[in-house]
Amino acid sequence: MSSSSIMDRLAILADAAKYDASCASSGTARRNSLGGKGIGSTEGMGICHAYAPDGRCISLLKILLTNHCIFDCHYCVNRKSSNTRRARFTPQEVADLTISFYRRNYIEGLFLSSGIVKSSNHTMEQMVECARILREEHEFRGYIHLKTIPEADAELVHRAGLFADRVSINVELPTDRGLARLAPDKDARQIEGAMNRTSTDIAAARDSRRRFRHAPRFAPAGQSTQMIVGADRASDADIVHRASGLYTQFGLRRVYYSAFSPIPDASAVLPLKRPPLVREHRLYQSDWLIRFYGFRAAEVAEATDDKGNLPLDIDPKLAWALKFRETFPLDVNRAPRELLYRVPGLGVTAVDRIVAARRHRTLRLEDVARLTVSLAKVRPFICTADWRPTRLTDRADLRSLLAPRAEQLELFAA
């Protein structure tokens, strides 16, 4: 096959992979330098980033093995009834591309997903073969993330975990009802069964490696999943409960939320408009509250409106604090750490520093000010040696005082 056709297929299959959020950075403005003005682009596809356990950012070649698919998921541009340009790589071609990009220092690893061609087993075999070529023939030590196919045989999914650093299985939609309606070829129980086996395999491999130094690794970077937001009627409360259940049941490393984006040639059962991107952002913040701030899913759900959705103008932690004002103000010199995590504007690091500092001295408002980007947000919810909010905490207009202006989007504020 000529190199130009490789380039054509690369363009198609890298573009087709951009809808997968599992390792993407999203939510930013669209910019490019195609007109010859400026440098850089936020719109490109083909390379995404993942984070290693030590915090290193790793660039990954992000492509599909093929965008042919025998399934017909309504939300997917690659579904069999879609009128999109199709392309396909062989496992050897993907391995060769990975190695040549790696040698040029463009990437440090591979994120490989695929449409389902011929059968789930055939596709999974091809993906595993690609990872095998990289690991065994090229002795590739870089990062590999394989998207696995829950309908494939358990043995094949297991083999994927032996070669990959991370495996992921998409739950796709937050509710079984939504999955049955929008992805009729998929089965929620099959997806959960595959996640469960992967979780057991990961735990077993960790246990073996503790006992035997040379025991095989199995997906050492764990498993993750993705949920599409806004394609069905699931509320934020539904999504938060589902995500929390997945973390607890299957020990997932991450749940990624992907705001449904209208696709070319869209199915009539889909909404015409994408949900606001800030909704995806609020879900990431609520995910953060559950994983790092000790909130239960039910508590995050208490911050939602009567339709079960999180407010878009303020972050979920502030929404919760405004709803449960009787919890505040908290004395930063005495309150337990887990309660301080609930103060809007105080992150985990700030709370750690407060707890460490108050062993040696009594904290004043200016000490807290040094630990937060927004003292205005913190003040109504805390007491210090020289500050009490008195009636500020209960003011009827507190929400409007604290809501950021409409154009501001607070990245990872918690």
Looking up tokens 């009636």, which residue turns up? Answer: 391
Q: Tell whether residue 169 is a contact of ligand SF4 (CB under 6 A).
A: no
Residue from 50, 58, 63, 116 binding ligand SF4 (CB under 6 A):
116
Rounded to a whole number of angstroms, the minimum distance from the CB of residue 185 to ligand SF4 is: 7
Choices 74-82, 152-160, 280-288, 370-378; region in contact with ligand SF4 by CB under 6 A: 74-82
Q: Tell whether residue 74 is a contact of ligand SF4 (CB under 6 A).
A: no
Angle between helices 120-132 and 154-163 (to 10 degrees): 20
Q: Tell whether residue 387 is a contact of ligand SF4 (CB under 6 A).
A: no
Q: Which residues pair with 109 in a beta bridge?
A: 60, 143
Q: What is the distance between the terminal CA atoms of the chain, rounded to a whole angstrom? A: 51
Choices 20-28, 31-39, 73-81, 206-214; region in contact with ligand SF4 by CB under 6 A: 73-81
Q: Which residues does 331 contact at the CB level (< 8 Å), separation at least 6?
A: 382, 383, 384
Q: Residue 136: what are its φ and ψ, rounded to 5°?
A: -90, -40
Burial of 80 (0-12, 13-18, 19+ CB in 10 A): middle
Alpha carbon distance 332, 353 (integer Å): 11
Residue from 115, 174, 311, 347 binding ligand SF4 (CB under 6 A):
115
Q: Tell whether residue 150 is a contact of ligand SF4 (CB under 6 A).
A: no
Q: Tell whether residue 71 is a contact of ligand SF4 (CB under 6 A).
A: yes
Residue from 22, 78, 84, 286 binding ligand SF4 (CB under 6 A):
78
Residue from 21, 48, 50, 69 binding ligand SF4 (CB under 6 A):
69
Choices 35-43, 71-79, 244-252, 368-376; region in contact with ligand SF4 by CB under 6 A: 71-79
Question: What is the H or E stretch that residue 349 is in?
Answer: helix 348-357
> Could you tell me how many residues of this chain bind ligand SF4 (CB under 6 A)?
9
Q: Tell whether residue 73 is a contact of ligand SF4 (CB under 6 A).
A: yes
Alpha carbon distance 331, 30 (integer Å): 44
Rounded to a whole number of angstroms, the minimum distance from the CB of residue 260 to ligand SF4 is: 12
Identify which of residues 73 and 127 has a Cβ nearer to ligand SF4 in the complex. 73
Alpha carbon distance 33, 341 (integer Å): 42
Alpha carbon distance 315, 342 (integer Å): 12
Decide if 52 contacts 253 (C-beta within 8 A).
no
DSSP state of 392: G
Identify which of residues 71 and 387 has a Cβ nearer to ligand SF4 in the complex. 71
- The residues that touch ligand SF4, with contacts defined as CB under 6 A, are 69, 71, 73, 76, 78-79, 115-116, 183
